Structure 1
Amino acid sequence: MNALSGIRSVGVVGGSLGGLFQAVALADLGLDVTVWERSAGRPHDRGAGIVLQPSVAWFLKMFCGADPDRVSVPVTHRQFFTADGRSHRTPMRQQMISWGSIYQPLRDKLDHGRYREGQLVDALTPRPDGVDIHTGDTVRPVDLAIIAEGSSSRHRELVTRGGDPCYAGYVAYRGVIDEAELPEALGAVFRNRFSFFDGDRTQFLCYFIPGALGAVGPGTRRMNWVWYVRADEAELDRITTDRNGAARGLSLPPGLMAPPVHTELLDRARRVLPQPMRELVEHTREPFAQAILDGRVPRMRTDRMLLTGDAAFVVRPHTAASAMKAAEDAIALFTALQQFPSPEAALDAWAQNRIAEGTALHHRGVALGRRLGLNGPGGTPSRLPREGRRPL
């Protein structure tokens, strides 16, 4: 006998990567899994690039039947620039992927009837042996509820006090360019390379990722760049106020950057960045921006409710571990439910393991931000008010 004898139904609140990793793995165990996602239609990934970590590649292959080599772009070297444009390279093989190229195999694997899009979960009510999930006028009892709503989770406090994200004191400007739109000479500088520039309290990095519909062939990919720049909270508000004067809070979508902010971005690029990276910024039609956040919880389990992914830990992107963390949360639960004799033993073991891993990632990200000189004044993240901040 194992924990599966006491858990037959699972409700997942949130249908982005964290929720999908859990849903796909638990459905593979034969559990009755339902996902509630408040947004309708496919989430917009804005073309974000991700380093494909081994655990994510393993998950896609084992659970989704996706060949990681067919959904990612390989790099063979890391390339480091100095301010005057000189560079040196060191061999290092990695695979780069887009958010959408992870999302789509997960979404395709999950039976359509299990995914309830456009349905907001109003409340979760614990029971001695499960949780009631309230959506509109419907109450669905489940044996286990997994809260996977991301950094702006509405239900985090049902599991633990504390853990709301804090602003780390800097922003990430981002851009995506179709490879076909890059001058050939400029594209050649970056092909097969993960490129970096570390300046004075700033970092710029870039690499190719899959293009539209997951295309990975030369000429069909996209260049993805990220530029970390310090900004106090007043500056964050200015950066994320869109061209129409609307405050966007924690992130600014593509196409909405206010002209003065865009002009300042271009001016900064000309002053600070090595020429090839400056040209990437200049070739980007619709740059966007997001606040860098820290978030960690002291607990990931209360009774039959679990926190997963960014609802539990929001780690700095320097760790390249956000998707990895969510995948490993799911792999660990998949394993624990088969190995332990009761649901309580399995969930306790899972929570202890994931708290330790999440805390270590959190500390690593803060240390990397400090090493780069990016942490806010005093090195202390600032608390974000609940009201007036739109989720990422």
Structure 2
Amino acid sequence: MTASAPSGLSSVGIVGGSLAGLFHAVALTALGLDVDVWERSGGRPADRGAGIVLQPAVARFLREFCGVEPDRVTVPVTHRQYFAADGGVDVLPMRQQMISWGTIHQALRDALPAGRYHGGQPVTGLAHRPDGATVRVGGADRAVDLAILADGSGSRHRGLVAPAGAPRYAGYVAHRGVVDEADLPRELVARFDGRFSFWDGDRSQFLCYFIPGDHGAVAAGRRRLNWVWYARADRSELDRLTTDRHGVRHGLSLPPGLLDPRVGADLLARARATLPEPLRRLVEHTAEPFVQAILDAHADRMRDRRILLTGDAAFVVRPHTAAATEKAAAEALTLHRALREAPSTDAALRAWERLSLAEATAIHRQGVGLGRRLGLDSPEATG
């Protein structure tokens, strides 16, 4: 897809090389702009096997900007199944497609021209200038016409645009796990195949579904089963959950392979005491569970002159919405369209902020409402 941007806009610097940054990089490259992406971590940011429900904006982006047909890189779901406390199961038809973080990231990287993604190069400074911004990387300054902050919930430069938008802990965590299909008993695979599964407990929710395996493999036998278990945790409990087996505190998340054995034993004990049998067995077959704190962030603005906030750097939405990746893709599509159609760069950026802010605010409110209905929010943690 090719088009052109308004005159006077030629260079773009993007801070952050995860999905939000790459969506924008690919979309703006399609406008003929000179785009560079700087990512703090070296190599590809770890996806930890995260599963994602494919939504329309992501599907459109993959097809139109990456040349990737979504049906070829997703695992289809035909039904939802709801486990009850008494062991019963309700099954309802509902078609969806499931994808993995890694599959999307690889498609975006493949679509970005060589030499434009700079891993292991943190942006250490960012400042406004009259017609753009100055980005400091590796001790050198780079002038760009537009800077986009896509460096996630822990953005170090968010305050340049939205000083009051820092994330807050929502009072609960997501215990997560991914299991290779080949490592699961056949009867358990059959129980979850083609189904998006749910269980609602006391201030708790468990869900699971199949996602692509290594290198985006979607064939039976090569997929992975992704699960998430939401549970309340006050601040002291969060600290315990995210302190690794070596006593190192990680703050808001704990990667796979580092779980303290005592925390792992507690997770298994709770699974055996509360979860329906198929879900309990799934947790038991998970070699390396990990933990992520659920956060809220709500920016009151997404633009200051030629610096933009996007993705989790602007809004962190609850995962119950299944909309974080969709929101990032939609913001990139909106910016692409605005720059293509508006009479000037500044008019395009104003339109982008108005539309993106309204959509993100609605999704944020929806996610908070869903968390409250599930009884997950903790007033102590969110104060």
Q: TM-score range by the shorter chain?
A: over 0.9
SS in 2 for 1:84: coil
Q: Report the Cα offset of residue 37 of structure 1.
A: 0.9
**Map of 1:244-323 to 2, 5 A cutoff?**
244-323=246-325
**Map of 1:219-234 to 2, 5 A cutoff?**
219-234=221-236
Does 1:63 find its partner at 2:65? Answer: yes
- Tell me the distance in 2 between the aligned counterparts of 1:191 and 1:17: 27
**Map of 1:39-58 to 2, 5 A cutoff?**
39-58=41-60
Which runs of no fewer than 5 residues in structure 2 stay unpaired? Answer: none
- Tell me the distance in 2 between the aligned counterparts of 1:284 and 1:300: 39
- Matched to 2:104, the amino acid is I
SS in 1 for 2:46: coil
Higher mean alpha-carbon deviation, 132-141 vs 307-316, is at 132-141
- Tell me the distance in 2 between the aligned counterparts of 1:381 and 1:295: 11
- Matched to 1:298, the amino acid is D
- Tell me the distance in 1 between the aligned counterparts of 2:87 and 2:72: 33
- Matched to 1:227, the amino acid is W
- Tell me the distance in 2 between the aligned counterparts of 1:6 and 1:334: 16
- Tell me the distance in 2 between the aligned counterparts of 1:373 and 1:171: 13
Q: What count of residue pairs does the alignment treat as equivalent?
A: 380
> Match for residue 94 of structure 2?
92
- 2:5/2:31 contact within 8 Å kept: no
Q: Runs of at least 4 residues of structure 1 off by over 3 A?
A: none
Q: Report the Cα offset of residue 54 of structure 1.
A: 1.2
Q: Report the Cα offset of residue 3 of structure 1.
A: 5.7
- 1:3/1:341 contact within 8 Å kept: no
- Matched to 1:256, the amino acid is L
CA deviation profile, 1:92-146 (whole Å, cap 9, x unmatched): 0000011001000000110121111111111112111111111123211110000
- TM-score normalised by length of structure 1: 0.95
SS in 1 for 2:288: coil
- Tell me the distance in 2 between the aligned counterparts of 1:230 and 1:98: 26
SS in 1 for 2:298: coil
CA deviation profile, 1:30-74 (whole Å, cap 9, x unmatched): 001111111111111110101011110110010000110111100
- Tell me the distance in 1 between the aligned counterparts of 2:224 and 2:87: 22
SS in 1 for 2:106: helix
Find the partner of 2:330 among 319, 328, 331: 328
SS in 1 for 2:97: strand
Does 1:29 find its partner at 2:31? Answer: yes
- Tell me the distance in 1 between the aligned counterparts of 2:225 and 2:73: 15
Q: Report the Cα offset of residue 4 of structure 1.
A: 1.6
> Match for residue 381 of structure 1?
382
State the percentage of identical aligned residues: 65
> Match for residue 13 of structure 1?
15
> Match for residue 128 of structure 1?
130
Which runs of no fewer than 5 residues in structure 1 stay unpaired? Answer: 383-392
- 1:85/1:276 contact within 8 Å kept: no
SS in 2 for 1:85: coil
> Match for residue 177 of structure 1?
179
- TM-score normalised by length of structure 2: 0.98
- Tell me the distance in 2 between the aligned counterparts of 1:43 and 1:286: 18
Q: Report the Cα offset of residue 6 of structure 1.
A: 2.2
- 1:294/1:381 contact within 8 Å kept: no
- Matched to 2:190, the amino acid is A
- Matched to 1:381, the amino acid is T
- Tell me the distance in 2 between the aligned counterparts of 1:135 and 1:53: 34
